[in-house]
Chains A and B, each alone.
Chain A
Amino acid sequence: MNTSDRSGVIAAIFTFMALVFVLRLGQIQLTTSEWRDYAARLTEEREPVMASRGLVYDRNGELVVSNVACYDLMFTPRMARNRIDTLGLARLLGWEPERLIAEMDKARVYSWYRPSIIMRQLPPEEYARISGELWRFPGTWAKTRSIRSNLEGLATHLIGEYSETTPKDLEADPFYTLGDFKGKSGLEGVWETQLRGKKGVRFHMVDVRNNYQQPLSEGRMDTLAIAGDDMVLTIDRELQRYAQRLMQGKRGSVVAIEPATGEVLVLVSSPDYDPDLLVGPGRARNYDSLLKHPGKPLFNRALRGTYRPGSIFKMIQGLVALEQGVIQEDSRIYCNRGIIGCHGSHTQDNLNEAIIHSCNPYFHEVMRRMIQTPRTGSHFEDAAQGLAIWTERVKAFGLGTDLGGNLPGAKSGFVPDTTFFNRVYGKKRWAYSTIYSLSIGEGELLVTPLQMANIAAAIGNRGWYRTPHAIRNLGGKGKPPGSDQRIETGVPSERFAPIVAAMEAVVAAPDGTGKRAQIEGLTVCGKTGTVQNDPDLEHSVFMAFAPCVNPQIAISVYVENAGFGGTWAAPLAALIIEKHVLERDSTAYPDREQRILEAKDPFPRHD
């Protein structure tokens, strides 16, 4: 090769490399957005601006649930660069070093660049203690977040749980980011989208140490957070607090409804739990122990507990029978104790007396007339047709349905129908004699305490009720649609007179089973129930409304394993009625209150 050609070779090598560089520049600058996106990820940070969650008020505008600040301790592995004083930090947090190291390893596995939470929901006082020291530990800082505070622990089952999102939640809804909270159950869960509001976002430029430097694009892309809707409950805070106090130490429920509106005034399920147990670092442990607690404190008995209605169901039987025309108000029926047992001394009761005496043979006969009305000549076919009509009429009283008022988790209970019995016994294999225990509210019937209170409201209104609901106003837009509807029971108001009179007598009569619910100057209409619960003690049940005309409250009280309905449930209901209707700050029956407050599960066996 000629030496002068060699300059060409060298120039070609130089030119080739320059060309390679220009092409490479084009490749990373022009052909892909990979590096631009990566730079944006490094230098720009989206800071979500949390919306303040809607507050919860009671019907009188008193605050029930508010928001309070707490702090998550965050850790970014890259900023620590393995040079963090783990021992010192563990001492500051009061942790075992192994635990901290494990958390930090978890954070490193999750992401080298992104912050992880290493300690959750520190209360403000705890944060104040450590905040001054955090600068010593690079890569750690505290992130403020807002949690719920239900200071008095009122209606915790109804309001529900507000807790940290699970990985599944994060996947299901992009609204949430790691460590966010969401309403999980109760009203918090049902109305989550309304309560949570809209997050805002601020875009920042950050430097290599992840410090905010300046707003991106002068903040033109930023949006403000929009606070969540406030929620006004139908619950009366005072009354709820009182009912919870009365139920302390007992298992059971109290449901009170304003009959004219269907608004739920009181919803107690006892035992309840301190909602604070379910937030913060101890959540998992506490949840577990609540779950294993024999009293099932997490279980909302008021909406989800199902019981056999017992004698209280006799009032519905009477009303349906009157409407069917199988009895008249003054029809008397012989108390034939050969078929079914009874109690007390009576022989030929009319409807009113049969309810007061809770006469089993009377309602056995009444229901036989309804079910076995001769229609087709076939004993079995008659029973099937009769039951179909009966089921419809009973369901019109709000049984066998969740009542549709958006009460979270409300159960439907059960009213057996022909399909059910055909499945159990076979088609045309059953007749009234097979299913007669329904007549006295036993058998397969199941109702919830809410439905029981609703029956009291329907009777108090003489024939109709409004869907029971718990929200008066959501975000200033009034009641959520569909939660407030007038429903007819299908029984005209004039038919209610003997039933109402009987309920009045149950309380007012000196030997009435509900006499412990008497209130001076107020007509209380009630009915006791005693739900068989072999081999344990019966559940003590009482349902009532007051006053007799234009009732202001309808109530059901369940005290589990406490015995007769008149013994515990009736006086407990009376205290609540007294407080609400007579607007008394303290009861005129301190002995009654004292007795209830002192009563604790387990109740003594009676004989």
Chain B
Amino acid sequence: MRRQVTIIERIDWITVGILALLAFVGWINVSSATATAESVEWYSLAGKQGKQLMWLGICSLVAIAVLNIEGEFFIRTSLLYYLFTVLMLIAVLAVGKKVGGARAWFGVGTFGIQPSEFAKSGTALALAWLLSRSDGKLRDLPTRFKSLGLIALPVGLILLQPDAGTVLVFGGFIFPLYREGLSGNVLIFVFSALVLSIASILTGASEVVYPVLGSGSGIYLLWAILAGLGGTAAALVVRNTVPRERARVRWIAWGSCAASLAFSVGIHWGLESVLQPHQRERIHVLFGLDVGNPDADYNIRHAKAAIGSGGWVGKGYMQGPMTAYEFVPEQETDFIFCTIGEEWGFLGSSVVVLLFWGLLIRLIQIAERQRSHFTRIYAYSVASILFMHFLINIGMVLGLAPVIGIPLPLFSYGGSSVLGFTVLVFILLRLDAERFTVLR
């Protein structure tokens, strides 16, 4: 009895408060986004705002239940849970419902369950278990390969659905890996890859006509520049380094140049030959390239119009015509941020961004105060998963990222999503509450 009290005292109420606030603000915006122009049926469970409220109730119960389970349980069952989610991912490929081109849902009556939402927490727990077992050392090769395999398995299964958004979210696991000792070069590498991808996409688009080379040949120019750059760098750097280092530097210069070239060719080939036309179109739209389809940027134009029309303080709750008259597609799920932008303006949407930022920073603080490696690694995973959702979702509606359908955590309408995040975060809160009592 006494022990229970201390656990409750040690729950991080700041995080709980931010979560509750996000869920509440999210819910009232889902209500606005799904309301017809005439009236809102606040108490009806048939409407989406009613269903969302019911899900939030279920999530509260689940949260209480999770808080009452000893942290040891999660650690011990983490691999089991991970395997269970992997099995679900396999099962969904076999018997899942196809929604919007992806086989990602189990249909249960009118409700749907999306196993990839639970695969995130499963992978986070399993990764924490794996890395904490090897004492947080990522230096030895077997551990690196094991953790890579651990992440790659669900990613591969989700790619088969296919669900590009969730795959990108798994990219967030680079943060806990980095925190646990993966070389910082990895972050530089990712950044370079991003820049190179953008350059390849822009130069690879056939719309631009170059003076001498003609159209569609900009990509060759880029490749020529990359090769030239590598050669020049090798020559220049070699001249200015001590003889002992020369061979190594030259190898790095040529090597990175060759890698860049290969990567750029890969991106170009992937864009032209692997991606489906609508995905290529979305990427081209993001970079403002003309895709010859006047409706291609429909979603993003309307999203920006809804947000932009909010001004400083917005049009007022339930007063946004873009929201009320359904100009924004998917406005209660992936595009929920548009409703905030339109009805609450710059101030309201900035507050939401700051709430998310506050949550992320708080999670890092929680991670860093752990003595337990498991909890720390898990905390970073949770923060990273939330960050990736935040990054892709808001980046998308603001026209900074391509249109990729993933929910805004706790905000977007959808039971699986809210429940998945609740489980994800409240496991951490329970583990955190035990930080003084357990030494692992």
A20 CB within 8 Å of chain B: yes
Smallest distance from the beta carbon of A447 to chain B beta carbons, Å? 61
Chain B residue at smallest Cβ distance from A18? B357
Q: Which residue in B178, B306, B345, B394 is a CB contact (below 8 Å) of A6? A: B178
A424 part of interface (Cβ distance < 8 Å): no
In the complex, whether A221 has a CB less than 8 A from a CB of chain B is no
The yes or no answer to A172 lying at the interface (CB within 8 A) is no
A21 surroundings in chain B (CB, below 8 A): 353, 394-395, 398
Residues on B with beta carbons closer than 8 Å to the beta carbon of A32: 308
State whether the Cβ of A339 lies closer than 8 Å to any Cβ in chain B.
no
* Cβ–Cβ < 8 Å partners of B181 in chain A: 3
B364 lies within 8 A of A208 (CB): no
Q: Report the separation of the CA atoms of residues A469 and B148 in the bound assembly, to the nearest whole angstrom.
A: 97
Chain A residues 1 to 56 lying within 8 A of chain B, measured CB to CB, are: 1, 3-4, 6-7, 9-11, 13-15, 17-18, 20-22, 24-26, 28-30, 32, 34-36, 38-40, 42-44
Bound Cα distance from A36 to B304, whole angstroms: 9
Q: Taking the complex as formed, is B214 at the interface, i.e. its CB lies under 8 A from any CB of chain A?
A: no
Q: Number of contacting residues on A, CB 8 A?
A: 41
Cβ of A25 and Cβ of B341 under 8 Å apart? yes
**Residue B360, interface by CB 8 Å:** yes
| Nearest chain B CB to A46 CB, angstrom units | 15
Tell me if A40 and B309 are in contact (CB < 8 A): yes
Q: What is the CB-to-nearest-CB distance from A527 to chain B, in angstroms, rounded to a whole number?
A: 72
Which chain A residues (510-556) contact chain B, with CB distance < 8 Å? Answer: none
Given B187, B341, B367, which contacts A7 in the complex, CB threshold below 8 Å?
B367
Choose from B302, B353, B364 the contact partner of A25 (Cβ within 8 Å). B353
Q: Please, which residue of chain B has its CB at the minimum distance from the CB of A17?
A: B391
Q: Residues of A contacting B295 with CB < 8 Å?
A: 78, 81, 112
Complex interface bits, B380-411 against A, C-beta within 8 A gives 1, otherwise 0: 10010001001100110011100000000000
The interface residues of chain A lying within 8 Å CB-to-CB of B356 are 18
Q: Please name all residues of chain B whose beta carbon is closer than 8 Å to the beta carbon of A9 when the two chains form the complex.
A: 178, 184, 187
A39 touches B305 (CB 8 A): yes
Chain B residues near A10 (CB-CB < 8 A): 175, 178-179, 364, 380, 383
Q: Is A14 within 8 A of B398, CB to CB?
A: no
B42, CB-defined interface residue at 8 Å: no
Report chain B residues within 8 Å CB of A3: 179-181
Kindly report which residue of chain A lies nearest to residue B342, judged by CB atoms: A39
Complex contact A42–B307 (CB within 8 A): no
B341 contact set on A, CB distance < 8 A: 25, 29
Assembly CA distance A29 to B308 (angstroms): 4
Residue B321 is within 8 A (CB to CB) of chain A in the complex? yes
The smallest beta-carbon distance between A195 and chain B, in angstroms, is 37
Complex partner residue of B309 from A7, A39, A112, CB under 8 angstroms: A39
Partner of A4, one of B184, B312, B368, B399: B368
Give every chain A residue within 8 A of B287 (Cβ-Cβ). Answer: none
A89 to chain B, nearest CB (A): 21
Query: Restricting to B340-384, which residues have a CB under 8 Å from any CB of A?
Result: 341-342, 345-346, 349-350, 353-354, 356-357, 360-361, 364, 367-368, 380, 383
Separation in Å of the B275 CB from the closest CB of chain A?
A: 23
**Inter-chain contacts of B345 with A (CB < 8 A):** 29
What residue of chain A has the Cβ atom nearest to residue B358's Cβ? A18
Q: Is A166 an interface residue (CB 8 A)?
A: no
Chain A residue numbers with a CB within 8 Å of B111 are none
Interface centre among A14, A28, A36 (most CB of B within 10 A): A14
Q: Which residues of A contact B395 (CB under 8 A)?
A: 21
A42 to B298, CA, bound (A): 12
Q: Measured between C-beta atoms, what is the minimum distance from B34 to chain A in Å? A: 15
Q: In this complex, which of A28, A39, A40, A78 has the most chain B Cβ atoms within 10 angstroms of its Cβ?
A: A39
Contact present for A38 and B301 (CB under 8 Å): yes
Bound Cα distance A113, B312 (Å): 29
**Contact A20 B400, beta carbon cutoff 8 Å:** yes
Contacts of A1 in B (CB 8 A): 184
B326 to A, closest residue via Cβ:
A208
Contact A15 B361, beta carbon cutoff 8 Å: yes
Kindly report which residue of chain A lies nearest to residue B176, judged by CB atoms. A10
* Beta-carbon contact of B350 and A14 below 8 Å: no
The chain A residue with its CB closest to the CB of B179 is A6
B360: chain A residues at CB < 8 Å are 14, 18
Judge whether B175 and A29 touch: CB under 8 Å: no
CA–CA, A25 and B312, complex, Å: 10
**Interface positions of B from 60 to 113, Cβ below 8 Å from A:** none
Q: Tell whether, in the assembled complex, residue B305 and residue A42 are in contact, meaning their CB atoms are under 8 Å apart.
A: yes
B350 lies within 8 A of A22 (CB): yes
Contact of B357 with A15 in the complex, beta carbons under 8 Å:
yes
- Is residue B262 contacting chain A, with contact meaning CB distance below 8 A? no
The smallest beta-carbon distance between B79 and chain A, in angstroms, is 25
Residues of A within 8 A of B311 (CB): 29-30, 36
Residues in B with CB closer than 8 Å to A39 are 305-306, 308-309, 321-322, 327, 342
Closest A residue to B357 by beta carbon equals A18
**Inter-chain contacts of A35 with B (CB < 8 A):** 304-305, 307-309
Q: Mark B313-343, 1 if CB is under 8 A from A, else 0.
A: 0000000011011110000000000000110
Evaluate contact between A205 and B309: CB separation under 8 angstroms. Answer: no
Residue of B178, B295, B309, B364 with most chain A CB atoms under a 10 A cut-off: B309
- What separation, in Å, do the CA atoms of A3 and B137 have in the docked complex? 11
Complex alpha-carbon distance, A1 and B183, angstroms: 9
Verify if B37 is at the interface (C-beta below 8 Å from A): yes
Residue B310 lies at the interface, judged by CB distance under 8 Å to chain A: yes
Given contacts A7-B179, A15-B361, contact A25 B368 (CB under 8 A): no
In the assembled complex, 8 residue pairs joining A and B whose CB atoms fall closer than 8 Å, in A order, are: A10-B178, A25-B307, A29-B312, A38-B308, A38-B309, A43-B327, A78-B294, A207-B37
Besides A9-B184, A40-B309, 12 other CB < 8 A contacts?
A: A9-B178, A11-B364, A24-B398, A25-B353, A30-B311, A38-B301, A39-B306, A43-B322, A44-B321, A112-B294, A207-B325, A213-B324
Chain A residues close to B by CB (< 8 Å)? 1, 3-4, 6-7, 9-11, 13-15, 17-18, 20-22, 24-26, 28-30, 32, 34-36, 38-40, 42-44, 78, 81, 112, 205-208, 213-214
